[in-house]
A and B are shown apart, each in its own frame.
Chain A
Amino acid sequence: MPAVSKGDGMRGLAVFISDIRNCKSKEAEIKRINKELANIRSKFKGDKALDGYSKKKYVCKLLFIFLLGHDIDFGHMEAVNLLSSNKYTEKQIGYLFISVLVNSNSELIRLINNAIKNDLSSRNPTFMCLALHCIANVGSREMAEAFAGEIPRILVAGDTMDSVKQSAALCLLRLYKTSPDLVLMGEWTSRVVHLLNDQHMGVVTAAISLITCLSQKNPDEFKTCVSLAVSRLSRIVSSASTDLQDYTYYFVPAPWLSCKLLRLLQCYPPPEDGAVKGRLVECLETILNKAQEPPKSKKVQHSNAKNAILFEAISLIIHYDSEPNLLVRACNQLGQFLQHRETNLRYLALESMCTLASSEFSHEAVKTHIETVINALKTERDVSVRQRAADLLYAMCDRSNAKQIVAEMLSYLETADYSIREEMVLKVAILAEKYAVDYSWYVDTILNLIRIAGDYVSEEVWYRVIQIVINRDDVQGYAAKTVFEALQAPACHENMVKVGGYILGEFGNLIAGDPRSSPLVQFNLLHSKFHLCSVPTRALLLSAYIKFINLFPETKSTIQEVLRSDSQIRNSDVELQQRAVEYLKLSSIASTDVLATVLEEMPPFPERESSILAKLKKKKGPGAVSVNELEEGKREGELNGGGERGGDNSAIAASNASTPSPSADLLGLRTGPPVTAAAPSAGSLLVDVFSEAGVNDDGFLSSAPPSVVSEDPAPPLPESNELLNKFVCKNNGVLFENQLLQIGIKSEYRQNLGRMYLFYGNKTSVQFVTFTTTVTCPGELQSHILHIYTCKHMFILAYTCCDKLNVQTKPVEPLIEGGAQVQQVINIECLSDFCDAPLLNIKFRYGGALQNLTLKLPVTINKFFQPTEMASHDFFQRWKQLSQPQQEAQKIFKANHAMDTEVLKAKLLGLGMALLENVDPNPENFVCAGVIQTKAQQVGSLLRLEPNAQAQMYRLTLRSSKDTVSKRLCELLAEQF
């Protein structure tokens, strides 16, 4: 080798790399590598002690060989030796080798940790950084054990150099991710938050990743970061593009930091402090505004950086889901991107809109882009973009556009990429079921699905169509007719034969009147497919045949002949043979009555979550397959436990209605045996799936088109109980909001009196006319509980009187301008205890259409509580006094929210009772006392709440001098925790 070396390189290494590159074949490469390995091994074993440089060079060669994909089983010791070299370059190679090749070799770990410890305490920033990088790169538990205590100290020490702080922050993050239990929170945590204020942008950039991760796990401990992050963000967003010098990237100020700040804010709900929130909203608006400005550079880096911030801001807006104005602006911005020439932006816009579609504020706005999205599905050249378009169509689908979307998806399926077909099939099946108004459309859709993409129609899908047909008698005839027609096709998919066999076996009689589909024609049609089918399908067909014998006695001899034929009764498949033998015997010895009982029509299936939905969730669910799980292809089949065979077995087993056999569940899929006796009525079918549609569809806008709205007050919204529950423990907030209208509430109570301010906000730009509101009392109240007054300029205009509450309402202006808000005052007097809340009906015309909606006014009995402080002794004495069984109401229920002590306390205080400390011997429990003030009487109440954190359950006990009060309070409170 020529003995020339430049300062910055290892000539020997360069020569070796060239040699490898010149190798003509894999064999030559391996030969050259083996030669080198032998050489290095002999050097390492040789008598002559190697100097640092040679060690470094050989270690580096080993590293290169390893990175080429070859195994290395020596050299670790030499690399560890390099760590303690005081020459930077040797140390560096040593650390690199360790980072890439370390394995939990115990004796080496000790040596490595020692070397790292020395470097960390060297006070040489370059060495410290090398050591920190190594810890971050290896990130093993052993390293966490050794350094999790030390690194926080380095991070917050006053004299640590900026570059070291940066490395320390991310190093700690890595250790926290591997071993969160070893990174102990402490005094340093509050100081870490303040790194958000650091002058050095690099320190902020590094620290914020750590803070975000810590906040996700311990939100309360880090919540001060919200206001700091907002002010930092605000400074960046409002800075000129040159202010931040090297942190400006293609004219965009600090894009990485901005994104990370916006991401951090997504760990928290919207800021409660009005000023902070205002500032943040301003930032978000500025970011949205900037998107409309002409670009400062034509470079793609400029637009990428700018849009990265924009998308992160939109994520935050979606996360808050509380600023309708911003949501709609975000949606419009994404709408522009849908047609952008950059594929990346179209992709991201489709992706982001998917989440916007699920917000009630922006769902309608997203729907306006339907044509563009359909077009994307048809014309995008990139399958991953088409996939996003399909996802978005699925997300924006509701009853108003389901037919169009399902039709488009079906037609796309004909040419869809294989990779996404199965998922598309599931989506079509779900949408068809969820939004089916008439079930003939549903049946048509699923049969089309089988025709177009039969191979991708999983069992869940065809099981489901059968479940639905069985449970809905209004569609059975249509289904029989349709499958009969579908089976006419010369080549039909086996799944079609299965559905056809099953449905004709059950409901073939419904079309048998037509000579074109007489029993024998039906049978011959099915049997013509028999020989082309797999064993499980043939087994299913045999069951259909025996059902035919029951349905149509005239087919008996033909079918018996088939069963008797050698190809059936001597079939080499045990299952087929057994069925043929048994069915043949059954049909010949059983009387008609017995046969009719055994082969009775399938009972309806119990309702449960659509199994297709469950499958899609599983498919898309986070962590379905992670990098760490390398096992591929979850075998769906296994989950159904011999699924293919069972579809038809159940027909027999369930009809027998004796003991449900395990296979009887196959159509019902996985959960519990079918309940043959207590079958739900056909009307309740699909209830579970429809409930998913939720507020968006049942909101009064879409469900009450102008033509059908009557002038009578609408029934209370389905969600009105939920809205009422929101206000049990608080007095102020937004009562209701939809596309047009927002209703805010402020209320105060004293003794048995209350005053409520309602704020009606017009969210549109068009005025609302003939705006009227009426407060009424529901049944029970009307007769004897509530008094409601409505007065105008102090004159009583309407006076609703009941015995329990007096409610006095000042009417509102009949006209609300676009964007304006009007206020209404309601005075309430509680006369006696009550259960039902008064109803608030609102009517107005918007663009000529009458809007009519009814809500529950959040007036609940607990609003009239006066807190009562008392000592432990008194409490228990009164508790004992209220010992009659009807005075106590108790509920044990599952926690709906995190069991946070502070939150619980806040809610109990909001309830209006006094929260008594040091009363219950168990400090985990809460006890409260208060008196409900009504005009007629005072009702003393005591409460005890016992959380069980392990089981995530509560036991709530209430005792009051009046039984109805205990009961009502218990009902109200059980929804709160």
Chain B
Amino acid sequence: MQFMLLFSRQGKLRLQKWYVPLSDTQKKKISREVIQMVLARKPKMCSFLEWRDLKIVYKRYASLYFCCAVEDQENELITLEIIHRYVELLDKYFGSVCELDIIFNFEKAYYILDEFILGGEAQETSKKNVLKAIEQADMLQEEAETPRSVLEEIGLT
């Protein structure tokens, strides 16, 4: 996989993950182009598009579009299910996920993605194992934060 984009129906980018080295301007240009192209698609159209020498695989979940760009020889259907598994992971973690969860907890959305896909390839496809890893990390986080949270928040924001 070369990159993954999550964006809203209004074309607002909610998450972007790049697995190939690109400059910021290139990233911006590509996102704009891909978002525009996908938003122009009507429902019931097929989920795959040829774009440059890549394939775009996308699916819409409520107000959010999930969109992956994969190399030409990649398997489109399995990429579609990569998207679905990621949605399932988000859903399980946030408890029926919505766009706002991803906006306000964007860093979590990135962590979950890293546990699931690394360097553009599926790292762990078991839902249970991914969530276990995230929960373990959250446990570490809580241990670290509980004693300080009340004190630290005062006067610092």
Q: In the bound complex, how far is the Cα of B61 from the Cα of A484, in angstroms?
A: 58
Interface set, chain B 58-81, CB cutoff 8 A to A = 69, 72-73, 75-78, 80-81
Is A256 an interface position by the 8 A CB rule? yes
Interface set, chain B 3-50, CB cutoff 8 A to A = 13, 16, 19-22, 26, 28-30, 42, 44-50
CB-CB under 8 A from B82, the residues of chain A are 256
Find out whether the CB atom of A627 lies under 8 angstroms from the CB atom of B52: yes
Give chain A nearest CB distance to B110 CB in angstroms.
Answer: 6
Find out whether the CB atom of B144 lies under 8 angstroms from the CB atom of A173: no
Find out whether the CB atom of B49 lies under 8 angstroms from the CB atom of A384: yes
Find out whether the CB atom of A249 lies under 8 angstroms from the CB atom of B144: no
Give the total of A residues in contact with B, Cβ under 8 Å. 88
CB-CB under 8 A from A649, the residues of chain B are none
Give the total of B residues in contact with A, Cβ under 8 Å. 73
Give chain B nearest CB distance to A104 CB in angstroms.
Answer: 10
Find out whether the CB atom of B125 lies under 8 angstroms from the CB atom of A256: yes
Q: In the bound complex, how far is the Cα of B8 from the Cα of A513, in angstroms?
A: 70
Find out whether the CB atom of B52 lies under 8 angstroms from the CB atom of A626: yes
Interface set, chain A 112-137, CB cutoff 8 A to B = 126, 129, 132-133, 136-137
Give chain B nearest CB distance to A469 CB in angstroms.
Answer: 35
Is A576 an interface position by the 8 A CB rule? no
CB-CB under 8 A from B104, the residues of chain A are 14, 17
Give chain A nearest CB distance to B126 CB in angstroms.
Answer: 4
User: Which one, B49, B120, B137, B148, contacts A88 given CB within 8 A?
Assistant: B137
CB-CB under 8 A from B105, the residues of chain A are 9
Find out whether the CB atom of A140 lies under 8 angstroms from the CB atom of B157: no
Interface set, chain B 118-144, CB cutoff 8 A to A = 118-129, 133, 136-138, 140-142, 144
Q: In the bound complex, how far is the Cα of B144 from the Cα of A3, in angstroms?
A: 18
Interface set, chain A 222-262, CB cutoff 8 A to B = 246-247, 249, 254-257, 259-260
Find out whether the CB atom of B45 lies under 8 angstroms from the CB atom of A247: no
Give chain A nearest CB distance to B98 CB in angstroms.
Answer: 14
Find out whether the CB atom of B77 lies under 8 angstroms from the CB atom of A305: yes
Find out whether the CB atom of A3 lies under 8 angstroms from the CB atom of B153: yes
User: Which one, B53, B76, B110, B157, contacts A11 given CB within 8 A?
Assistant: B157
CB-CB under 8 A from B107, the residues of chain A are 60, 63, 92-93, 96
A170-B121 in contact given A17-B103, A307-B77 (Cβ < 8 Å): yes
Find out whether the CB atom of B125 lies under 8 angstroms from the CB atom of A249: yes
CB-CB under 8 A from A665, the residues of chain B are none
> Total number of A-B contacts with CB less than 8 angstroms?
218
Find out whether the CB atom of B123 lies under 8 angstroms from the CB atom of A89: no
User: Which one, A87, A137, A381, contacts B44 given CB within 8 A?
Assistant: A381
User: Which one, B21, B30, B69, B149, contacts A139 given CB within 8 A?
Assistant: B21
Is B145 an interface position by the 8 A CB rule? yes
User: Which one, A60, A69, A381, contacts B28 given CB within 8 A?
Assistant: A69
Q: In the bound complex, how far is the Cα of B19 from the Cα of A1, in angstroms?
A: 38
Interface set, chain A 363-416, CB cutoff 8 A to B = 381-382, 384-385, 387
Is A5 an interface position by the 8 A CB rule? yes
Find out whether the CB atom of B122 lies under 8 angstroms from the CB atom of A5: no
CB-CB under 8 A from A628, the residues of chain B are 20, 22, 26
Is B92 an interface position by the 8 A CB rule? no
Interface set, chain A 269-316, CB cutoff 8 A to B = 301, 304-305, 307-308, 311-312, 315
| Chain A window 145-186, contacts with chain B (Cβ cutoff 8 Å), 1 for yes, 0 for no | 000000000000000000100110011011001100000000
Find out whether the CB atom of A246 lies under 8 angstroms from the CB atom of B123: no
Find out whether the CB atom of A174 lies under 8 angstroms from the CB atom of B137: no
Find out whether the CB atom of B78 lies under 8 angstroms from the CB atom of A259: yes
Is A573 an interface position by the 8 A CB rule? no
CB-CB under 8 A from A8, the residues of chain B are 138, 141-142, 145
| Chain B window 89-124, contacts with chain A (Cβ cutoff 8 Å), 1 for yes, 0 for no | 000000000000001111100110010001111111
Find out whether the CB atom of A344 lies under 8 angstroms from the CB atom of B80: yes
Find out whether the CB atom of B149 lies under 8 angstroms from the CB atom of A7: yes
Name 21 A/B residue pairs within 8 A (Cβ), A-sorted: A3-B150, A4-B150, A5-B150, A7-B145, A57-B157, A63-B107, A87-B144, A88-B140, A136-B118, A166-B123, A170-B119, A171-B118, A174-B19, A205-B125, A246-B128, A305-B77, A308-B76, A385-B46, A624-B52, A627-B26, A627-B52
Interface contacts beyond A60-B107, A246-B128, A308-B80: sample of 19 additional A-B pairs, CB < 8 Å, sorted by A: A5-B152, A11-B153, A11-B157, A54-B156, A126-B137, A132-B118, A133-B118, A137-B114, A163-B124, A163-B129, A178-B21, A202-B129, A206-B122, A206-B124, A301-B84, A308-B81, A344-B46, A346-B46, A627-B26
